[in-house]
Protein backbone atom coordinates (compact mmCIF):
# COMPACT_ATOMS: atom_id res chain seq x y z
CA UNK A 1 0.00 0.00 0.00
CA UNK A 2 3.01 2.29 0.49
CA UNK A 3 3.51 2.51 -3.26
CA UNK A 4 -0.12 3.50 -3.76
CA UNK A 5 0.17 6.25 -1.14
CA UNK A 6 3.35 7.57 -2.72
CA UNK A 7 1.82 7.44 -6.20
CA UNK A 8 -1.29 9.24 -4.95
CA UNK A 9 0.86 11.95 -3.36
CA UNK A 10 2.76 12.43 -6.62
CA UNK A 11 -0.48 12.49 -8.62
CA UNK A 12 -1.91 15.21 -6.38
CA UNK A 13 1.22 17.31 -6.70
CA UNK A 14 1.33 16.95 -10.49
CA UNK A 15 -2.44 17.42 -10.98
CA UNK A 16 -2.47 20.60 -8.93
CA UNK A 17 0.76 21.89 -10.47
CA UNK A 18 -1.02 21.72 -13.82
CA UNK A 19 -3.90 23.67 -12.28
CA UNK A 20 -1.45 26.36 -11.19
CA UNK A 21 -0.04 26.48 -14.72
CA UNK A 22 -3.61 26.77 -15.97
CA UNK A 23 -4.19 29.69 -13.60
CA UNK A 24 -1.13 31.46 -14.98
CA UNK A 25 -2.29 30.77 -18.52
CA UNK A 26 -5.83 32.02 -17.85
CA UNK A 27 -4.54 35.22 -16.30
CA UNK A 28 -2.08 35.81 -19.13
CA UNK A 29 -4.63 35.14 -21.89
CA UNK A 30 -7.43 37.21 -20.39
CA UNK A 31 -5.14 40.11 -19.56
CA UNK A 32 -3.58 39.95 -23.01
CA UNK A 33 -6.95 39.93 -24.73
CA UNK A 34 -8.02 42.81 -22.49
CA UNK A 35 -4.97 44.87 -23.39
CA UNK A 36 -5.26 44.24 -27.14
CA UNK A 37 -9.02 44.81 -27.12
CA UNK A 38 -8.59 47.90 -24.99
CA UNK A 39 -6.09 49.36 -27.42
CA UNK A 40 -8.42 48.76 -30.37
CA UNK A 41 -11.50 50.07 -28.57
CA UNK A 42 -9.67 53.10 -27.15
CA UNK A 43 -8.95 54.30 -30.68
CA UNK A 44 -12.64 55.03 -31.00
CA UNK A 45 -13.54 55.82 -27.41
CA UNK A 46 -10.78 56.20 -24.77
CA UNK A 47 -12.89 55.50 -21.66
CA UNK A 48 -14.35 52.29 -23.10
CA UNK A 49 -10.84 50.96 -23.83
CA UNK A 50 -9.80 51.33 -20.21
CA UNK A 51 -13.00 49.59 -19.12
CA UNK A 52 -12.33 46.59 -21.35
CA UNK A 53 -8.81 46.25 -19.96
CA UNK A 54 -10.04 46.53 -16.37
CA UNK A 55 -12.90 44.06 -16.79
CA UNK A 56 -10.88 41.33 -18.50
CA UNK A 57 -7.93 41.75 -16.15
CA UNK A 58 -10.26 41.53 -13.14
CA UNK A 59 -11.88 38.42 -14.62
CA UNK A 60 -8.43 36.89 -15.14
CA UNK A 61 -7.48 37.66 -11.53
CA UNK A 62 -10.69 36.12 -10.18
CA UNK A 63 -10.52 32.93 -12.25
CA UNK A 64 -6.80 32.39 -11.71
CA UNK A 65 -7.19 33.19 -8.01
CA UNK A 66 -9.87 30.53 -7.66
CA UNK A 67 -7.68 28.01 -9.46
CA UNK A 68 -4.77 28.85 -7.18
CA UNK A 69 -6.99 28.68 -4.11
CA UNK A 70 -8.13 25.18 -5.01
CA UNK A 71 -4.68 23.95 -6.13
CA UNK A 72 -2.58 24.86 -3.12
CA UNK A 73 -4.34 22.47 -0.69
CA UNK A 74 -3.85 19.65 -3.21
CA UNK A 75 -0.11 20.22 -3.34
CA UNK A 76 0.04 20.41 0.46
CA UNK A 77 -1.97 17.18 0.72
CA UNK A 78 0.28 15.45 -1.81
CA UNK A 79 3.40 16.43 0.11
CA UNK A 80 1.75 15.26 3.34
CA UNK A 81 0.96 11.88 1.78
CA UNK A 82 4.57 11.49 0.67
CA UNK A 83 5.56 12.08 4.31
CA UNK A 84 2.88 9.64 5.57
CA UNK A 85 0.99 12.22 7.64
CA UNK A 86 -2.47 11.30 8.94
CA UNK A 87 -3.84 14.84 8.41
CA UNK A 88 -2.92 14.51 4.72
CA UNK A 89 -5.23 11.50 4.45
CA UNK A 90 -8.19 13.52 5.71
CA UNK A 91 -7.36 16.55 3.54
CA UNK A 92 -6.88 14.38 0.46
CA UNK A 93 -10.16 12.54 1.03
CA UNK A 94 -11.97 15.90 1.09
CA UNK A 95 -10.14 17.00 -2.06
CA UNK A 96 -10.89 13.64 -3.68
CA UNK A 97 -14.61 14.18 -3.13
CA UNK A 98 -14.36 17.63 -4.72
CA UNK A 99 -12.27 16.25 -7.59
CA UNK A 100 -15.01 13.78 -8.52
CA UNK A 101 -16.82 16.67 -10.23
CA UNK A 102 -13.83 17.48 -12.49
CA UNK A 103 -14.46 15.13 -15.40
CA UNK A 104 -12.44 13.17 -16.61
CA UNK A 105 -9.09 13.47 -14.78
CA UNK A 106 -10.43 14.71 -11.47
CA UNK A 107 -13.00 11.92 -11.42
CA UNK A 108 -10.29 9.32 -11.93
CA UNK A 109 -8.09 10.93 -9.29
CA UNK A 110 -10.99 11.15 -6.84
CA UNK A 111 -11.91 7.50 -7.35
CA UNK A 112 -8.29 6.41 -6.92
CA UNK A 113 -8.09 8.59 -3.80
CA UNK A 114 -11.01 6.74 -2.22
CA UNK A 115 -9.61 3.36 -3.29
CA UNK A 116 -6.23 4.04 -1.68
CA UNK A 117 -7.12 6.06 1.40
CA UNK A 118 -10.11 4.02 2.60
CA UNK A 119 -8.16 0.76 2.81
CA UNK A 120 -7.63 -0.56 6.35
CA UNK A 121 -3.92 -0.99 5.66
CA UNK A 122 -3.60 2.65 4.59
CA UNK A 123 -5.46 3.91 7.64
CA UNK A 124 -3.19 1.87 9.91
CA UNK A 125 -0.09 2.93 7.99
CA UNK A 126 -0.87 6.63 8.21
CA UNK A 127 -1.92 6.40 11.85
CA UNK A 128 1.41 4.76 12.61
CA UNK A 129 -0.21 1.73 14.26
CA UNK A 130 1.52 -1.04 12.33
CA UNK A 131 4.89 0.43 11.43
CA UNK A 132 7.48 2.75 12.77
CA UNK A 133 8.80 5.80 10.97
CA UNK A 134 12.10 4.15 9.99
CA UNK A 135 10.28 1.42 8.08
CA UNK A 136 8.34 4.07 6.10
CA UNK A 137 11.53 5.79 5.03
CA UNK A 138 13.10 2.51 3.85
List pLDDT tens digits, range 37-46.
Answer: 888 887 888 7
Beta-strand runs (E) in the chain: none
φ, ψ of residue 118 in degrees (nearest 5) = -100, 5
Separation CA 40–CA 52 (nearest Å): 10
Separation CA 17–CA 23 (nearest Å): 10
| Plot region of 71 (φ>0 → left; ψ -120 to 50 → alpha; else → beta) | alpha
Residue 67 above 90 pLDDT? yes
Residue 4 above 90 pLDDT? yes
Percent of the chain with pLDDT over 90: 74
Q: Which residues contact 98 (CB under 8 A, 6 or more apart)?
A: 70, 106, 110
Amino acid sequence: MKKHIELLGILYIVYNAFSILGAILVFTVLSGIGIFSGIIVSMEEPFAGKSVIAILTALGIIISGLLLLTSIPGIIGGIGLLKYKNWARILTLILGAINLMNVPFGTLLGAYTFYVLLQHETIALLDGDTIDKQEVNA
